[in-house]
Chains A and B, each alone.
Chain A
C-alpha cells in the first residue's frame, strides 16, 4: 500500500512541474519585463529609472530559464510572495481564508454526494416509472440554469424573502450554522443535478448485470438487492467520480463567497481578479491544482481499497 501511495505521489511531480511551467508562461513568459514592472509599480506613471530598478531588484533581467527555475522552486516551497495590489503576504491571506472556504465547500460536497446517491437510488428503484422520469427531467432543467442565477435568485428568496440566513457577512462566533446554511443550499442545488444523472447511470449499469438476475431468481427482495448488492458495486464508480465535484466546488467558492461576504479563498481570488493581481491569481491557480491532484490521488487510493479487483502493485 505504501509503495502504491508513493508511486502515485511521484507520478504527480511531472504534472505539477508542467502546471507551474504553464502558469509561468501564461503570466510572465509572454509579458515583457517592462510591462510586468509597470503592472507592479504602485505609481501610475513610473519613470524609466524606476522601471529599470524594479526589474533589476526582482530579477527579471535574468535569462528566462533562471527566472522559470526560481519561480517554480518558490511555488513548490509555498513562497508565494506579496500581493501586487495590496502588498499583503499571500500565504497569510490564504491561511486565514482556508477555514471559511473549507467549512462551506465541505458542507456542499458532503451534501451533494449523499443527496445525489439517495435520489439516484430512489430513481433507480422506481426506474421507468413517473418518479424516475420526473427526476430525469428535473435534472436536465436544473443543469440548464446558470450557477450565477442560483446564487442571485437563491440569495433573494432564501435570505431576503424567507430570512433563513444573513444576506452578507461571516461571523462564526455568533453561530456558524446560519452563515453557512444558505450558501451551502445554493451550492447543493446548483451541483446536485449532474451528480444524480451520473449516479443513476452507474446504478442502472449494475442493475442490468447477471448477478442481480441471479439474486432475483433466488428470491432476494428488491430492496435488499438494491441496498446490499447494487449500491455496493455502484459505489466504486461513484467514489472515482467524487473528485469531479472539486472543480464545481472551486467555482462555487468563487461565486458564493464573494456574494455572501464570506472571507474565504474564493473572495480573495475574486478581489484579485478585480485588481488584476497576477501574483495572487497564480498562487490560487497553483493551490487549486494541488488540491485537485491530491483529490485524484486520494480517489485512486480509495478505489484500491474499495475494489478488490484493483491490484495495488
Chain B
C-alpha cells in the first residue's frame, strides 16, 4: 500500500474524534440536565478560562495528529513538526540566547529558540508541544479502558447482587489492596514500555474507585420506585440498566472521569521518573522533567527544560481540575463542596 495513503487515512482519526465530540455535545445540550449544566458553566468565569485552556491544548494535540508521509526521512511528519521543528543545535542554549551553554567554548547558535534547547540541542518549545498529544493519548485511552469496565462491572454487581456482586467485589478488593503505583510499575515491567502498555497498567489500577461508586449508586437506584415499576411492567433488566439507571449515574461518572483525567496526565510524569514511562522517541513531559534531575545540578543551571515541562503539565492538570470542579457544581449543586 502506498505509505502516503496510509498516513492520509490515519488523519481521519482526529477528524472522527472532533466529530464525535461535537455530536455528543449537541445531543447533550438538548437534554434538560446537561443543557442547564452547560448554561451554568458558561456563566462561571473560571470554568470558561479552564475550557479555553483545555481547548488550546486539544487543538495542539489534534494538530500533532494530522500529518503526512515524509519521503526524505521516511517518517510521519505532523502539522506541529512542520511549523515548530527547528534544526538541532550543538547542545544546551538558554531561551533566546545567541550562544550555547555548557560547552567549554560556547558556540554561536543557528537561530533563536523561544524556550532554549536541551542537551541534544532540540528546541524545548517544540518538545513541550510534542508532549501534548502523548498526555491526551494516555489520559484518553486509559479513560476508554476504565469507564466501560467500571460501568459494566459496577452496574452488574450493584443491580444483580448475590454471587455476581461477591465475585466483582472480591476482584476489586484484591486489586485495590495493592498500592496503585506498585501495581502500575509491576504491570509495565511485565508488559514492556509503550503508550498502550502504560494505559493498560493505569487502566487496570484505576477502574476500582469508579466501579465502587457505580456499584453503590446502582444499589441505591435498584430499590427506587421507578425501577420497581419498570420491572412490574415487564421491562427487561438490560433496558432498565441502560435506559433508566445509567443516565442517572452519568453525572457522577463524567465528573470523576474529568478529575481522573488530570491525575492520569500527572501519572505519566511519575512513571517516566521511575523508568517505566513512555519510550524516548515519543514526546513526553515526564521525560523532560526526568532530564532536569541532572540539569539543575549543572552550572549554569539549566532551568528552562524543567520550567517548560512543568508549566505545560500543570496548566493542563489545573484546567482539568478547575473544569471538573465547575462541572460538578453545575451538574449537581447539592454536591457543591
Residues of A near B170 (CB, < 8 A) are: 14-15, 18
Q: Is the pair B273, A247 in contact by a Cβ cutoff of 8 Å?
A: no
Q: Mark B175-203, 1 if CB is under 8 A from A, else 0.
A: 10111111101110110000000000000
Q: How far is the CA of A246 from the CA of B170 in the complex (A)?
A: 21
Complex contacts, A68 vs chain B, CB 8 Å: none
Whole-angstrom distance between the alpha carbons of A226 and B269 in the complex?
40
| B residues in contact with A201, CB < 8 Å | 337
Contact A204-B337, Cβ < 8 Å, known A26-B190, A292-B179? yes
Check A146–B186 contact: CB distance below 8 A: no
The reply to whether B182 and A284 contact each other, CB–CB distance below 8 Å, is yes
Query: Once bound together, how far apart are the Cα atoms of A152 and B294, in whole Å?
Result: 10
Q: Which B residues between 242 and 274 are near A, CB-CB below 8 angstroms?
A: 262, 266, 269-270, 273-274
Question: With an 8 A cutoff between CB atoms, is B278 at the interface?
Answer: no
Contact A23 to B262, CB < 8 A, known contacts A149-B306, A292-B177: no
User: Given the complex of chains A and B, what is the CA–CA distance between A296 and B179 in angstroms?
Assistant: 12
Pick out which of these stretches binds chain A: B93-101, B120-128, B216-224, B313-321. Answer: B313-321
* Cross-chain contact A145 with B310 (CB below 8 angstroms): yes
Rounded to whole angstroms, the CA-CA distance of A153 and B186 in the bound complex is: 27
B286 CB contacts on chain A under 8 angstroms:
148
From 10 to 34 in chain A, residues with beta carbon under 8 angstroms from any chain B beta carbon are 14-16, 18-19, 22-23, 26-27, 30-31
Indicate if B152 sits at the interface (CB-CB under 8 A).
no
B side interface size, CB within 8 A? 43
A148 touches B273 (CB 8 A): yes
Are B174 and A22 in contact, CB atoms less than 8 angstroms apart? yes
The secondary-structure label for the interface of chain B is helix
Complex interface residues of chain A between 140 and 163 (CB less than 8 A to chain B): 140-141, 143-149, 152-153, 155-156, 160
**Contact assessment for B174 and A140 in the assembled complex, using a CB-CB cutoff below 8 Å:** no
Within 8 Å of chain B (Cβ to Cβ): is A293? yes
Asked if B181 and A285 make an inter-chain contact with CB atoms under 8 angstroms apart, the answer reads no
CB distance B270 to A148 under 8 Å? yes
Per the 8 Å Cβ criterion, residues 287-337 of B in contact with A are 289-290, 292-293, 296-297, 301, 306, 310, 313-314, 317-318, 321-322, 325, 337
Q: Kindly provide the distance from the CB of A224 to the nearest chain B CB, expressed in whole angstroms.
A: 25
| Contact partners of B190 in chain A: CB under 8 A | 26-27, 30-31
Which residues of chain A (245-272) have a CB below 8 Å from chain B? 246-247, 250-251, 254-255, 259, 269-270
Min Cβ gap A268→B in Å is: 13
CB nearest to A17 among chain B residues: B174
Once the chains bind, are A23 and B186 in contact (CB under 8 Å)? yes
Cβ of A31: which chain B residues have Cβ within 8 Å of it? 190
> Considering the chains assembled together, what is the distance between the CA atoms of A19 and B301 in angstroms?
45
Contacting residue for B179 out of A145, A246, A259, A282, CB 8 A = A246
**Residue B138 at the A interface, CB < 8 A?**
no
Residues of B within 8 A of A251 (CB): 179, 181, 270
Q: Say yes or no: is A53 at the interface (Cβ < 8 Å to chain B).
A: no
Which residues of A in the span 43-65 have a Cβ within 8 Å of any Cβ on B? none
**Chain A residue nearest in CB terms to B272:** A148
Query: Which of B178, B186, B189, B296 has most chain A Cβ within 10 Å?
Result: B178
List residues of chain B with CB within 8 A of the CB of A148. Answer: 269-270, 273, 286, 289-290
Nearest CB in chain B: distance from A262 CB, A: 16
In the complex, whether A242 has a CB less than 8 A from a CB of chain B is no
Residues of B within 8 A of A282 (CB): 186
Using a CB–CB distance below 8 Å, which chain A residues touch chain B?
14-16, 18-19, 22-23, 26-27, 30-31, 140-141, 143-149, 152-153, 155-156, 160, 197, 200-201, 204, 246-247, 250-251, 254-255, 259, 269-270, 273-274, 276, 278, 281-282, 284-285, 288-289, 292-293, 296
Query: Given A15-B174, A247-B179, A270-B274, 13 other A-B contacts at CB below 8 A?
Result: A15-B177, A18-B171, A23-B186, A26-B190, A30-B190, A143-B317, A146-B310, A149-B314, A250-B181, A269-B185, A273-B189, A278-B189, A285-B183
5 smallest CB-CB distances across A and B, nearest first, come from: A18-B174, A144-B317, A144-B318, A247-B179, A146-B269
Contacts A/B (CB < 8 Å), 7 sampled:
A22-B174, A143-B317, A254-B181, A273-B274, A292-B177, A292-B179, A293-B177
